[in-house]
Amino acid sequence: MPLRERRGSPWTGLGTVIAKETADHLSGVRMVVIEVLVYLVALVVAWFSTTTIRESIGESPFLFLRLLTTAPDPIPFSFLGMVGLVTPIIAIAFGFDAINGEFNQRTLSRILAQPIYRDALLFGKFLARLLALTIALVSLWLLVLGLGFIRLGLPPGFEELIRMLGFLVATIAYGGVWLALAMLFSVLFRAPATAALAALGMWLLFTLFWSVLVTPLLATLIAGPSEGILGPSVAYAETAQILNRLSPETLYGDTTLALLQPSTRALGLVFVSQLRGALLGAPLPVAQSFLLIWPQLTGLIATTIVLFVIAYILFQRQEIRA
């Protein structure tokens, strides 16, 4: 049969889908509950952080970066740690029933019987969820920034603001990875619970087990033991680094480390010979920090795109009968 090209823009209806899905997420009970919880925890963390920082206000020029990275007593994690923990969970909560939910509600054939391609439906759902996630993260970011401003009595410096914006962009990209993964599973599995569990399982794998179990095991298999006769094995360390960077957790961790700890000069193996002339502990200019994290940030965005493309291909091949 000769190939007949379809006519009409694949993005017809995209705006309608984005508007509807974004409104659903911003007004839905699920979103409100998550946001209230996250905002409360963030406020508590930021409050205690500012209390700690006020006691040592002259020790660092980057007060607002310390606000994000300080784990204050009695709270065992920083604002950065909290965001790194809740962003994947919120993204998974947004994405796990994006497509299978339509199948289960039997709305998919009714919607696709309207003048809209599947492309627009899937992409619209993804963009709407990413937009809702972005709105949540931006409001959280502004909340902490405002609280810091009030409690510390100082505005953030220009470089601090740029670094904090970079952190926000990296967090959105990190959320995008988990959102795309959750949506992929929502295409792959017809039961939303299965999709949610699969996505959470992947998150646990990368968060808890990847760097402590999977990476050492695979690096040993590939490059031999971690310790050689003359000390640590460089081949092992380089292999472990490559494997670690397959994890979005590592990419995000590297990115935030370089952005929020300006003294970070390298994100991989560093030999003593490479440190000749370096002023250890001195902050790197913000442009240099961005150069440092560029591969990691690009990696996060690329992973999001790859996962979305896989979901897209699978969705295009599915039979729509529900």
Partner 1 sequence: MPGDVVIRAAGLTKRYGEKLAVDHIDLEVRAGEILGILGPNGSGKTTTILMLLGLTEPTEGRAEVAGFDPLRDPLEVKRRVGYLPDQIGFYDGLSARDNLAYTGRLAGLARREIDDRFEAAMVRVGLPEYGRARVGTFSQGMRQRLGLAEVLMKEPSVAILDEPTTALDPHSTQEFLEMIRGLKADGTAVLLSSHHLDQVQSVCDRVALFNRGRIALAGSVTELAGRVLGGGHVIDVEARGGDVAGWLAAVPGVVRVQPLGLGPDLYRVDCRIDLRAEIARHLAGEAELLGIRFAAPSLTEVYNRYFEEARDAA
Residues at the interface with partner 1 (CB under 8 A): 1, 4-8, 12-13, 16-17, 20, 24, 28, 105-107, 109-117, 319-322
Torsion of CA 56, 58, 59, 64, to 10 degrees: 80
Nearer to partner 1, 17 or 180 (CB): 17
Separation between Cα atoms, residue 125 and residue 132, nearest integer Å? 11
247: left (phi over 0), alpha (psi -120 to 50) or beta: beta
Nearer to partner 1, 15 or 224 (CB): 15
Three-state DSSP at 126 gives helix
Provide the residue count of the chain: 322
Class of residue 2 by CB neighbours under 10 A (exposed 0-12, middle 13-18, buried 19+): exposed
Q: Is the dihedral of CA 296, 298, 299, 301 positive or negative?
A: positive
User: Closest approach of Cβ 112 to partner 1, in Å?
Assistant: 6
User: Closest approach of Cβ 109 to partner 1, in Å?
Assistant: 5
Specify which residues 232 forms β-bridges with: 227
User: Closest approach of Cβ 19 to partner 1, in Å?
Assistant: 8
Q: Are 103 and 321 in contact (CB under 8 A)?
A: no
Nearer to partner 1, 120 or 300 (CB): 120
User: Closest approach of Cβ 311 to partner 1, in Å?
Assistant: 19
User: Closest approach of Cβ 114 to partner 1, in Å?
Assistant: 4
User: Closest approach of Cβ 316 to partner 1, in Å?
Assistant: 11
Nearer to partner 1, 27 or 273 (CB): 27
**Closest Cα partner for 164 from 228, 255, 259, 246?**
259
User: Closest approach of Cβ 199 to partner 1, in Å?
Assistant: 23
Torsion of CA 269, 68, 302, 100, to 10 degrees: 130
Separation between Cα atoms, residue 160 and residue 166, nearest integer Å? 10
